[in-house]
Amino acid sequence: MGSIAGTMYTFFQNSKTEGAYMLLFALSIVILYCTNRERDRFHFVYPTLLLLGVVCNPVTVWILSLIFPVLKNYSPLAGLIPILLYIPYGIVELLYIIKSAKTQRIVAILLFLYVSICGNFMGAFEGNTRTQTNYYDAGKKEVVEYLETNTKSMALADDSLLSFISSYGDSVPLLYGHDLLHADSDLGIIDGYDYEIFDIQRMMWAPEIYLDEIAKVAKTRGCDIIVVKNFEGAKSYTGVYREALTTPDYIVYRSIS
Amino acid sequence: MISFDMMNIPGLIVVLALPYMAGYILKTVTLRREIGQIETYLTGFFFLFLIQGAVFVTADSFMGLAFAGLCDCYVGMIIAVAAVFAVTVIINIILNKKRGREERYRQKLTKREWILISLMFLIGILVCIRVVGTIGYVREDFMFPTVKTTLATGTVNAYNPITSRPYVYGIINSRKVITLPIYYACTCAVFKMDPILLLYVICTIQTVICTYFSCVLFIIPIIRFRERLYMFGIFLGALLLSGDYFNYAIGGKLLWNGYAGDTIVAAVMLPYVLFLIMSGYRERRLKIIDSLKLFLVFFSSVFITGVAKGALLICITGGIAFICCIIIGRKGAAPEDRTLIVGE
């Protein structure tokens, strides 16, 4: 029971740092339970609780992940949580309990402010999941600009950079693209990659251990640039590659020859 | 930001109006005149996805058309829909004149309702402005590079723009990747639109509109008071405007990935499916027309997201809602009345 609660807590923490909207969602269910008649509870409250019981249940995800590898985590199922429907409906029900029009207006404005501040109203508030700073990543951009100007034959890049390169630097040829990341989860062969490519990708997760092996394979595959995550004690050269650019997040190695 | 060169006003109007035309044709063909304008737009929206999926998959799998050929098919589809729509409207006008048009009794809005509806409209415009504002951040996704590559190379099969390997391997993924990006690429090519404008603004705004429609459609039989409905719309808009709030929830996805298949499934199709099931339950029977609509939504979702995700989500939600109805039984079920009440 404790582990399930822990999993759920982690899930919510990962999904939304502050959890303010989940709180509003939970409150709206309580409000709807209190304000709705028995008949409407059967339509709205109980099915939602059942839906939450199924969707937010680690057992469901585990069973489904056995059948559909695409459901390795909660994220596809989390979209089923009907936040968009329930929060406004709960707020409306709450507002129309209040008889005085003046109080109703004040409560409506306060709730509107709460919804806005907890989110990112018109992009005005920081601290949410997709603000300019964390989406348009300056560190990534620097690396991609370097790749665009310096890649002659092919580059091998860290997983976190792959999709960024496809958007910003679509002229950079890569040993593998971000389609490889979905190879396990779409029940089919996405691309014609061989097993060695999958091995390199796994080695790229731990460059502090496998950097020399990565360099060897990359050389045989014809890559002239390798981009790995920055780590402590990184060498300035490995095999025929030497360090060409270092950012707080990445190290770019370039072939000498 | 958007420059004037990227704009193609006729193209924009056609893209936004096409779902309504398709929905109107469906409504007339199925002789369901009581279907409202909102539902007409939504059914047309799904119907178009179904048509484009069917056309593109068939053309690609069996006819082996080039991209230019697919664009021709797409133009043909648009002309056919527009022509049938025009004919249907003319026939309906003539029939209405013959039968004598029914006098519609429109209830006047109260002052408070006018204020609320104005606020709702204002928030809708702000949502659109926010969508335009997000264009500054190029997305990290499959769709945009694939559309760009399709336009650049003129190939039917989508290619990974980076590795240059085709996306045709694997049954599920090939269908998933081919249909929607090719559809967007055709739209760009036919209307001479910039893919940035189409994907990040027009399609996203269309999805936001459909989400509004879908949620409102779902909530109308439950709320029933017009004033409350507008209040619901205002707070729904507030959630969309603050839409970065929850990484995996729909509000956030709508602003950033409104053109993607899984967002459309989760934001537009799921409330609509729930509405259909709920309506069936409240009316104590699922009509044939509702089954057809469910079928339409189901296959549209398959075409735009692939079997592994969209259809699965639809099945899970539909299944849970259906099981709920069975478990709960028919206790308290009452015939649905969608007439909105003015005032409180």
For the stretch B77-124, pLDDT in tens is: 889 889 999 998 888 888 877 766 555 555 677 888 889 889 999 998
Q: Does A209 lie at the interface with B, CB-CB under 8 angstroms?
A: no
pLDDT given at position A227: 92
Q: Which residues, 6 or more positions from A74, have their beta carbon under 8 angstroms from its beta carbon?
A: A11, A15, A56, A61, B248
pLDDT given at position A133: 43
pLDDT tens, residue by residue, B292-315:
787 788 778 777 776 555 556 666
For residues B18 and B46, is the Cβ–Cβ distance under 8 A?
no
DSSP assignment of A172-231, as one string? --BSS-GGGGGTTTTSS--S---HHHHHHHHHHT-HHHHHHHHHHHHHHHT-SEEEEE--
pLDDT given at position A101: 85
Are B173 and A188 in contact (CB < 8 Å)? yes
Are A16 and B245 in contact (CB < 8 Å)? yes
Q: Distance between CA atoms of A48 and A29, rounded to whole angstroms? A: 8
Distance between A59 CA and the closest CA of chain B, angstroms: 15
- Pull the structure tokens for residue B96: 């209405």
Q: Distance between CA atoms of A111 and A26, rounded to whole angstroms? A: 15
Are A84 and B245 in contact (CB < 8 Å)? no
Partners of B145 on chain A (C-beta within 8 Å) are 166-167, 170
Specify the pTM: 0.76
pLDDT given at position A109: 92
Q: Phi then psi for A252, rounded to 5 degrees?
A: -105, 120
Q: With a threshold of 0.90, tell me whether the complex ipTM lies above it.
A: no
Q: Distance between CA atoms of B330 and B318, rounded to whole angstroms? A: 18
- Pull the structure tokens for residue B329: 């039984």
pLDDT given at position A106: 92
Q: Distance between CA atoms of A23 and A55, rounded to whole angstroms? A: 17
pLDDT given at position B234: 92
Q: Does A75 lie at the interface with B, CB-CB under 8 angstroms?
A: yes
Interface test with A, best of B216, B223, B235 (most A CBs within 10 A): B235
Token look-up 């104590």 returns B284
H helix or E strand, kind and range, residue A254: strand A250-255
Q: What b/e sequence results for B303-324 when a residue is b if at least 16 CB atoms lie within 10 Å of its CB, and e otherwise?
A: bbbbbbbbbbbbebbbebbeeb
Stretch among A46-60, A102-116, B180-194, B222-236 having the lowest mean pLDDT? A46-60
Single-letter code of the amino acid located at B116: L
pLDDT at A226 over 70: yes
Listed in sequence order, the DSSP H helices in chain A are: 2-15, 20-35, 38-55, 58-67, 75-78, 83-95, 101-118, 132-135, 138-150, 159-168, 195-204, 207-221
Q: Which of A161, A251, A242, A176 is nearest to A208 (CA)?
A: A251
